[in-house]
Structure 1
Amino acid sequence: MLEEFYQEDDGMSGTVYSKLFDQNLDVWIEENVSNEYAISCIESLNSMNSSLVDDICKAAIAYCEDFCEMVGQQPPAIERIRDVLHYIEFGTMNIEEPEDDKIPVVHLGGGCEWEQEHGIELIIRNGELIYLGAYNGEWAWGEPDHYESDYNYAFVIKQKK
């Protein structure tokens, strides 16, 4: 699960395997994060239920379609919602000091084919997708209304439910 970890001045860095994306992610663990909490976040990454994965995909499709419309480009052809995962490459996981160490957070950043400049970021807190949009370096512990912007596609898909 945890591979090649190195102590840094203000935290730890290393790699972790993601089952969903079938790849290793670079992981940054902030200083003052317990090993137990880091492991719970990594376990949360690797135990997402099907409904959560579908929400991620729906939000990513909404992000893709909205961005492509804004810049006048054709979005990729996506026949099944999980096909969007072929256009995304998450490369990093951040584990921030928790406000509540009983609530795991999955905070990923990476690239996507439709928005190569700003990429993609997602935050899942306690098994719920709370942010998916361009990579802005969001804080994982914001209040729900903090994430309710026009460019948070996790919020957009919740409004459609």
Structure 2
Amino acid sequence: MSIIRDIVHDKDGLGWLYGKFDSDSFFQGEMSITIYGESDDYIEYAEKCVVHYNRLKDDSGFMADLRDKLAKFMYYMRNEWEAMGIYDDIAEDTDKAVADFESGGDILKYLTRPYLNVEIPEDGTDEIGYSIVAECPWEPEHQCSIIVRGDQLKYVGPDDGSTPWDDDDQYYCIWLDEETE
């Protein structure tokens, strides 16, 4: 039985596949997946990524790192929106997330409509790598991207098209250098 279901080819001729799977990780329920390739090898690799993703909820170190990086990203963006003074509705929604987080709420609940992106490594290895993109109140324009390679959390920040196969220096985030509240 296939883990990924309802697989369809893209209509724009890009050679991508779209489907759905049951998420049993830090997002629960049906989740969309984009596979950047059309062959059976790509589907097989994507299913390995789904299995890996579904195990992340049990990795307490990974989950703590994810929540920490999400919080730093949230605080940084809140401060940036407030400094601009032009996005009061964004700052207001973000302040609600900050207040809930600071009172013990789970920051992950503010990530909505997540989907998994899978791209096979260019070097031909079978190393696991994927990104999760979700909407969030503190970055409504570019969403939030979470990039995983192997068992490492490589990036948490705005979705800028980065992949798990980029060089580590491409994952730099200023908010990881700064002290947050």
Asked if Structure 1 and Structure 2 have the same fold, meaning a TM-score greater than 0.5 normalized by the shorter chain, the answer is yes
Q: In 1, distance between residues paired with 2:113 and 2:167?
A: 24
Q: In 2, distance between residues paired with 1:113 and 1:50?
A: 25
2:43 partner amino acid: N
Query: Alignment partner of 1:25: what SS?
Result: strand
Q: Does 1:35 align with 2:59?
A: no
Q: Is the 8 A contact 2:35 2:43 kept in 1?
A: no
1:57-92 CA-partner distances (Å, limit 9, x unpaired): 111111101110111233522133x61011111422
Change (3 A) 1:63 1:149: closer
2:152 partner amino acid: E
Greater share of helix: 2
Q: Does 1:17 align with 2:22?
A: yes
Q: Which residue of 1 aligns with 2:88?
A: none
2:120 partner amino acid: E
Identity of aligned residues (%): 22
Change (3 A) 1:111 1:69: same
Q: In 1, distance between residues paired with 2:20 and 2:165?
A: 23
Matches within 5 A, 1:64-103: 64-72=74-82, 73=91, 74=95, 76-77=98-99, 78=101, 79-80=103-104, 83-99=106-122, 100-103=124-127
TM-score by length of 2: 0.75
Number of aligned residue pairs: 153
Q: In 2, distance between residues paired with 1:88 and 1:95?
A: 19
Greater share of strand: 1
Query: Alignment partner of 1:64: what SS?
Result: helix
Matches within 5 A, 1:1-161: 1-8=3-10, 9=13, 10-19=15-24, 20-31=26-37, 32=39, 33-48=41-56, 49-72=59-82, 73=91, 74=95, 76-77=98-99, 78=101, 79-80=103-104, 83-99=106-122, 100-150=124-174, 156=176
The structure whose Rg is larger is 2
TM-score by length of 1: 0.84
